[in-house]
Amino acid sequence: MSTLIVVNNPAKWPLDIPGVRVVSAKSYLTEPEFAQAAGAKVFNLCRHYAYQSMGYYVSLLAEARGQRPMPDIATIMNLRSLSMPRGMAADVEEEIQKSLAPLKSNEFTLSIYFGRNMANRYERLALTLFNLFPAPFLRAAFKREESGWVMAGIGTISLGEVPDSHKPFIVQSATEYLQRKRLHKPRRSKSRYELAILFDAEEKHSPSCPRAIKRFSDACWDLGINTELIDRNDYGRLAEFDALFIRQTTAVNHHTYRFARRAQNLGLVVMDDPRSILRCTNKVYLAELLQRNNLPGPRTLIVHEDNIDEVARVLGLPCVLKRPDGAFSQGVMKAADESELRRTIEAMLQDSDLLIAQEFVPTEFDWRVGVLDKRALYVCRYHMARQHWQIAKHEEGTTRFGRTETLAVEEAPADVVKVAVKAANLIGDGLYGVDVKVVGDEPYIIEINDNPNLDAGTEDAVLKEDLWRRLAGTFLRRIEAARVGLGNP
């Protein structure tokens, strides 16, 4: 009973979709067997979703039962108000103009079945709207205005409103949607939980390599968790899963943050959670947090247009300037003299009203302490790139990294590990990478990263498979705790 289609009257359901069971809304809402089907996918194809209607209650109770309804209650409410995240609204606007530009008419209607349209030229637009409003059957209306095409409305439709000529395509779309490729071919009759991994193998500086993803997936499988790779086009499918593991470089104004927000709102276990992304990806926040909690670090100044002249006096030269949202040593500059300092600051302030300036603390390597669930997981020494002052040197479209050494946690300096764990715990209880420099005998916190590198052969060089088992075990414990909270232990 892992996949259900719920309709008002199964006798009038003419489509044969492999691997699903068709039940009536009344049976689903009243019969005990459906109440006990924790983790089931529930495709709600009732005729109406009005407040307190049968269709409304199917999605509402599916969420209460720890199941995965489509549409969920949030989508039903969003369809009423046409509400969408601001970042995605821009994506939709761009796709609407691009897809509908060739049309000569002033009105257009788009039918969307499980995220697809029968015409290939509208596939991207259909998927974009499905990701915003995940529902099996959608119909969107558009009209042309002086400024361009606008979406006049979008809503769900029942099977009775679908032309007969579209029904074979619905069967094909539904079948393909339900049989998406997983990382593992089924080796058990049933896995207990489903975990999505947001990953892009083509990302230039991905936080994990494909081999690392495979090792983590193997560890999950051993614990009864099935894993599936997803990408930015799978936003609308998050309700199918119990957990989300983000293995792309995160940013607030980015799809990774939108995925984390939606997953958390759906009740999924999320790593990185949106609060951690929000906090760790802004160096201004981190500087204030570390100072307020008296954690040791290099002398730091939050720079704005009115205190530029103070930077050299307070920090000395050379000093380091950091864009608030930089990652992988990008957006970090070293200013050697006052003219370069002012020029660099003024350029950076074009993009952000605040930035970070720190005293320059040269070291041969940075310590990286991986922290999971408020405990140290691994410790590495990231050496500076050859003839460079950072661990990564970016030049002419290429990046060179320094060598890496991995140590057992108990072999690393105790004060480095202790201060790193303390810093990470200020953020939350997720997975973090804390960068520490040792100056004299004192460890200095440099950064707390919400999306630390986990690469096969590097961060797992000491713990090997046990690192992945610990990570998978954290997901398992949290998923089970969430299930208990829903009354489904």
Q: What is the pLDDT of residue 185?
A: 45
Task: State whether 379 and 467 are in the same domain.
Answer: yes
Same-domain pairing of 64 and 22:
yes
Residue 335, domain CATH: 3.30.1490.20
Which of 330, 305, 308, 306 has its CA nearest to residue 319? 308
pLDDT at 393: 83
All residues at 6 or more sequence positions from 405 whose CB lies less than 8 Å from its CB, including other chains: 365, 380, 381, 383
Q: Which of 239, 241, 209, 208 is nearest to 226 (CA)?
A: 241
Query: Of the candidates 76, 98, 130, which is a domain's last residue?
Result: 76
Residues 224, 203: one domain?
A: yes
380 lies in which domain range? 362-474
Asked, for residue 350, whether it belongs to a domain, the answer is: yes
164 and 251 inside one domain: no
- Give the domain CATH number at 23: 3.40.250
40's tokens: 């089931």
Q: Domain for residue 489, yes or no?
A: no
The CA distance from 423 to 416, in Å, is: 11
Of 151, 176, 201, the domain-final residue? 176
**Is residue 451 a part of any domain in this protein?**
yes
Cα–Cα distance measured from residue 390 to residue 402, given in angstroms and rounded to the nearest whole number:
8
**Residue at 208 is within a domain:** yes
Do residues 306 and 251 share a domain? no
CATH label of the domain that carries residue 249: 3.40.50.20
For residue 207, is the peptide bond before it cis, meaning its omega torsion is within 30 degrees of 0?
no
pLDDT given at position 188: 46
The first and second tokens of residue 242, run together, are: 């119990």
267: its two tokens: 């009740």
303 and 249 both lie in a single domain? no
Q: What is the mean pLDDT of each run of 10 residues along the chain (489 residues)?
A: 88 88 94 87 92 89 87 87 68 91 95 95 94 93 94 92 94 86 50 92 92 97 95 88 96 91 91 94 91 94 94 95 74 92 94 92 96 98 91 79 95 98 97 96 95 96 97 97 64
**Is 157 within a domain?**
yes
Q: Computed from CA positions of residues 145, 147, 151, 153, in that sequence, does the dihedral angle turn out positive or negative?
A: negative
Asked if residue 34 is part of any domain, the answer here is yes
Cα distance between residue 452 and residue 248, in whole Å? 10
| Domain co-membership, 205 together with 228 | yes
Q: Are residues 170 and 105 in the same domain?
A: yes
Helix axes 255-265, 86-100, angle to 10 degrees: 120
Specify the number of domains making up the chain: 5
Last residue of a domain, one of 318, 340, 359: 359
Query: 273: closest CA among 301, 312, 249, 244?
Result: 244
Beta-bridge partner residues of 302: 356
What is the rounded distance in angstroms from the CA atom of residue 118 to the CA atom of residue 163?
Answer: 12
217 and 249 together in one domain = yes
464: closest CA among 218, 241, 197, 268?
A: 218
- Looking at the fold, whether 151 and 254 belong to one and the same domain comes out as no
Tell me, yes or no, whether 266 and 303 share the same domain. no
Same domain as 107, residue 29: no
* CATH code, domain with 112: 3.30.470
CATH of the domain at 445: 3.30.470.20
Q: Would 435 be classed as within a structural domain?
A: yes
Q: Is residue 188 part of a domain?
A: no
Beta strand 300-303 with 355-359 is antiparallel
Q: Which contiguous run of DSSP H or E holds residue 80?
A: helix 73-81
